Structure 1
Amino acid sequence: MDQRQQLIENIQHSLYKGFIDKNQNGSSQFSPKLLTNKYPETVLTTLLQELKICETFMFSVAFVTEGGLATLKAALYDLKQKGIRGRIITSTFLNFNQPKMFKELLKLENVEVRLANAKGFHSKGYIFEHHNHYSLIIGSSNLTDNALKANYEWNLYFTSLEHGEVIYQLKSQFEEAWNEATPLTKDWINHYKQLYDLKPIIKQNDLNVLEFDKYYLTSSLVKSLTIRPNKMQESALKNLAALRSKGGRKALIVSATGTGKTYLSAFDVRNFSPKKMLFLVHREQILRDAIQDYRKILGGEEEDYGILSGNSKNVDAKYLFATVQTMNRDLYLKTFEKDHFDYVLIDEVHKAGANTYLKIINYFTPQFLLGMTATPERTDRFNIYELFDYNIAYEIRLQEALEEEMLCSFHYFGVSDYERDGEIIDDTTKLRTLVSSERVKHIIEKIHYYGYSGKALRGLMFCSSKEEVYQLSIALNYKGFRTIGLTGDNSLEDREKAIKQLTDGEIDYILTVDIFNEGIDIPCINQIVMLRQTQSSIIFIQQLGRGLRSHPSKEYVTIIDFIGNYKNNYLIPIALSGDQTLNKDNIRRKASNTNFLKGVSTINFEEIAKKKIFESINNTNLSTLKKLREAFIELKNRIGRIPFLYDFMEQNSIDPEVIINYSDNYHNFLIKMKESLPAISDYNLSVLNMLSKEILNGKRIHEAVLIEALLHNSVISKENFIQRLNNHGTYVDDTTIQSIENIFTLKFHVQKDIKKYKDKPLIDITNGYYQLNEEIKGSLKNSHFSTFIKDILKCAFEKNKRYDRTKAFTLYKKYSRRDACRLLNWPHDDSSTIYGYRAKHKTCPIFVTYHKQDEVETTQNYSDEFLAPDLFRWYTRNRLTIDSPEVKNILSYKETGMDIHLFIKKDDGEGTDFYYLGQVEIDMNSVKTETMPDGKGNYLSVVTMNLLLEQPVPQDIYHYLIES
């Protein structure tokens, strides 16, 4: 059967499944699908996936916004690099589309745009042309960021061959509208803008509710305003009140930049009603802004509010706002009695480890002390949490704040940095290259292409050095931009003057290094440019956060991150996702599938930039002693004690499996962390090694259930064990029970592991009864040892929640060859002999590395590949034919009752684990003998066949696997 006939059959199967019988067997690659923006699959993810693989595209959309266009810009740029073009028809219907948006459309060099002349043009359709078929999205979604990612929409996603009636009608309609449409030009935009500016967009009398900076101002014709707490603030205020009711006198608020910490503190001060309050911060400008916010909440007379700083000494005020630098001086500090202030509040409290802060904190004895920060993590090991008695009243990080729509949305673009003679910018690049005319031109091209939201540019650039700040500022000014460079050498007055100039529109950019990471408030910023490598995820989020405050002048902020050959590029997906597991697989997935952000914010990488990130992940050892120790100390500081493995899970820190892979067991890890612990015997350590390796990952819950039972009962029967498994809702059969017994009696293990586990079965089995061996039972009296076992079990049960307990394998989870041997109930660990596949015990696991390394021998470099998300072309070992016994055994799988399981990983950089893609059936019509070169001028026989998956691979995993 040729490819075209196969395609026709697949589409026929898919249409039958989609419109007649959903239980239809066969490929469902092209099944029609309803797109509703139900997380994690959105209209945007489908649209981007189609753009990646199309040969051309046609969009017919009435409404387009800058934000909607921004979500596609990186993909459209990559298409331009491939020489792929497209067309867009849009409209002026209802004057919805803004003039600036049309200017953004003109930036798309590979996209031709026209304006529909049809009256009431209101279509919403996306057509993608492929080599031999069309994909279409037709429904309710315009090209706006909300419609593509957040709104509840109805769109039908389906496939057609070129002679299909529907595609014929759609293309005809498109071409008809296209031929009658007006080309988009600069002159047209100028004319449209004149008309657009004459139309009043909002009638003031219709405005009943204003939303300003995410605090709700309720009004009748906007005459009398009252500020109410937002969702985050309400929860935090309840927690603070509950804490104080129990006698708590200190609390810490961890809240992302822009989520309203200052307003929150003002609400709490109002609730507390102190006679005297002290607000401490490190910069005078923050004090002045804070006073304005406090007056909105607390009211009162102007003289109630005072400032203690270098320029002001209003020490008698009811509400005193002071800089740390001034209050720290004995001349002022000792003028106050220690209990002068009922309520003391410290902003940016992560700085409180400094002696200047501690001197003030240790002096005053308020009734209540509140600390606020966006980033409590510190590198100097000072324990901020201990300072506040480990009372975290509320915590909301960037990802949660975006989900709650508390911040301005953003569109992040990871773009490739300047390349010269095949070399991309890295941390050794000389200054003359960083500010060369070619790199400046490259920077300008990117900031122009990705743009900004709003009428006027208000930008912030983070550079890599003081010299780059000053020289790049000069270079940009020469190119017509209005910029100012600021570093730590500039005075406070210089900084405040530059901020005012930026806010007032007198300059376009502030260029800076090492300052402005925190402690500034410029809500109008609509573009942030990162021209330096990411040194830490904390600093990355601090810098990104400079643009996340809401402001009437912008709908979103554009983040443009220039990604060069930096070894720390792996930190970018960590920072954006907040994933602190140090698990490489998690980080790769976050770099590939960036749809983890809810709401309308998006993360986009140009292909070259994404490649640099993957290289960094592959080349970086995430589990170094330094990284592990930093995470350990941070968690220990947070909870105020030595953490257990489960604490790492509960606090979204390191994946316990990373710790175990590093040190075999947690006792060993704590010793490496320099913790003093009771001694554990060598045998008991080997028991912890085994339980950590076999149970902790949670891939099969059965072993954990048995150990948990034996911790509470010295002996249990097999019947009792089976009943416990049934109570957990997991599968049970004789071969699985035997497999579990083989694990604990060491019969399953290879000799190396048997030696590691001291060649002593953990469990004795007699007459259908289980019990721990006598040495373990005696050791359980050691609470240190038993606590470690209980911790392993707790992690196992928690991790197992991510797996389907009714089956041996869970679709799209990752398993090693050894895992497969265990979960398929093989009596022995034969993982070292599986290689690509092995048919044994009525099962045949197939393991495929999708992208082979270049050095793989020609005779092993098979062309295994996806033909579709639910169809995989697979090759057997070489020197085999259809008549080979090994092949005959596999082909007779239905007659013999053999199950075939498919496991795939992207490349060897992923380690030993493979994605489980389910059981497969063989398309018998596709089986044939082929030949492949051996690299020596000869050809070897090999059998190839198509494997039909039980379910199509989800698009995010599918494209992650196939992308090179």
Structure 2
Amino acid sequence: MTKLQLITQNLVDTIIKLSEEAEEIYILTSFVMKSGVKRILPALQLAAVRGAEIKICTGDYLHITQPDALQLLVEELPKAEIRMWQSGGKSFHPKAYLFRKAEEGHLIVGSSNLSASALTSGIEWNLHAPPAADEEIFEEGLAQFERIFIHEFTVPINKETVKQYRKTYDHFHREQSIVRTFTEAEEIETMFSEPNDQTQIVVDPPETYITKKEELTPRPAQQEALEALENTLEEEYDKALVVMATGLGKTYLAAFFGKRFKRILFAAHQKELLVQAKKSFLHVMPERSAGLFNADVKEKEADTLFASIFTLGLKHNLESFQPNDFDLIIIDEFHHAAARSYQSVLNYFQPKFLLGITATPDRMDNKDVYSICGGNTAYRIHFIEAIQKQWLAPFVYYGVYDDTDYSALTWLGTRYDEEELLQVQLKEEMAKKIETAWKEHRQTRTIGFCSSIKQAVFLSSYFNSKGWKTAAMHSQMKGYSREEAIQALDSGKLDIIFTVDLFNEGVDIPSVDTLLFVRPTQSLTVFTQQIGRGLRIAEGKSHCVIIDLIGNYRNADIKLQVLDTDPGANNRKKKSVIPTVPENCQIEFDLEAVELLQEMNRKKNPRKDQLYYSYEDLKLELGRRPTYLDFHLKANADSKAIKEFYKSYPGFLHSIYELDEREEEVFLQHQDWFKEVERTSMTKSYKMVVLLYMLSKGQDSWLEPVTPEEAAPFFHSYLTSKEYRKRIDFSDNQGRQLIEYDEKKVAALIAKMPMTKWSGSANGMISFKNNQFRIHIDVEKEHEETLFQWTKQICEYRLHRHFERKGESLDRVQ
């Protein structure tokens, strides 16, 4: 048997040798330096050329990682996926190198970070576990790598995030001269304490269903969704999205729907969700086999396979399946589907039907997943609507004033600096305020959502000292196991569970009737998920109390739209900072909290701020300037506000100083044209389809005049190539779809509808005379490319938004 190998020098030789044949390469180090990257870069580049999958994760602890090292990785390994753990001042120092070829996995763990000295002549100890030494250790190492790599504390590394990190790196080292000397020396290595384990989630308790002759009967919301999916199948769609509020049983819905398919793949991003889903499916279909596919077990032959999206998405695992192995693929928590790991799975498989299910899409109107599901949102019910239908418990919301000055805290892109936040949170005065508010409004069983483990432990200790029975639930909890804590709260033996993110997705205690928010809430998705933890209907529970600390943190005013029956109306009217809640709910605020929200509105326009913050976040995520459609699909903001506030997307870019000198000239010279393309009315898509045809001719020819006859083939092909386009826009007055191509009819339609109509409303910029449609713009040669690209961006955005909006309206009518 091959033994473990101790490597004390020249680890680089082993890394290079293993990289030469590896199909998958995973590197996890606490920091990276340019000298180390240079040593292994040629081997990684050769592996990338062969098609190897490469993922690298490092950290920003003490800002030892060099920006130049990150930039080198980004520039020289463009196909690698690189992420950085944002430590927030907490120690982060893992060192692991994983390589896999076919069924053989090599794991190296030890002391060597990615620097020249650590890889060559430094005093380092590293243990190499080859395949024959331990068959399970590689998979366990890969599972641990996955937990860190996809953790919410990691951010993608690209050109934009490197720029941002370089600023914080330079600022840190200006203030810390000792560390600067250390990093310049570079060959010196250091050790730090072990990082905390990643928080894991706990699964739902089994749901109770009405049974008839021992057969499960769908609940009302599930029945409505099943009928909508039936219509989707009849209309010959092969993809659909169902948005169903937490507590309405979306996993059971998927199981009911899955009964009509022979082989099913259910994919999610958490192991515990898969275990829970497996139980639900076996409850509905006990006669079928069900298996798990994750880092620990791979039961590939099961009728229904429940797979970790990360494990399944690895090249070695993905290619062990045939693309048509599954008739139905279900993606749970589908709001994650834009992530890279999901995309590789979605691109590989070819199921008969793809079903996305989610409770809280990242973008509140599901636009991020619209195109992935072929434009088909089969069913949608927000928790507000479910409350109105009495399918979920109503709530009583109390907005409690928090006088903490969050504006003085450092913002790390997605969250506040943890150490700075703790300095204001871990005070007895703050704990006393929280206890006072909780005692005044609480009911019987409470979940308290905290920013960090330290805050959860601190508050639990404080409350216990006051005679309450509480527990802090986290990855290193003592005294109670997770299951024991949940049972104790459910039975009334505990008053509160303080936690961080354990109850975001897939976790419920139906009897919980009080939610306590003692953290700044930036994410609307997380806020919605956490509210859902208190809305399940349970015996003896009349409503859920929500106690929420309101301070001047980011999105404090914006997050309240989650509770609004019509958040858009409140934005338009701008009459009140208080949302309008369902009739069977109540909402109350401390006077100081109302004054704070009003002051925040006076000082800024929260919707404009959200546009800017969302743009910056997305730019960092993509590593480049987002296109207009990128912003609409992926930014955590309403793209409609761009036209409202800035008249056009180039106008928005101009207002936030994103344009260089040449682009500035293009915008100022042609801003009226951008406004026209952005604002021209569109009952149908026809104007933009004609413009898209002109743009399809290329940068040098798109301004040449066109005739209706010339545009007809493109026009007809575009509107009939997608079922939802044809269904929405390409039918006659009797609703009959114009499927057969007739140049004469299509040309006549084009001449009448977009060309004649647009020429009469474009302030002279567009004409239609002598059967020629022309755009009247004088363009300087050096401006041609920018004008073309921006026009194309607006055109593509408007077409996507048009069909999305019309499709949603049609879905609601049906």
Give the TM-score normalised by structure 1.
0.42
**Higher relative contact order at CA 8 Å, sep ≥6: structure 1 or structure 2?**
2
Instruction: Identify, as 1 or 2, the structure richer in strand.
Output: 1
Q: Which has the larger radius of gyration?
A: 1
Give the TM-score normalised by structure 2.
0.49
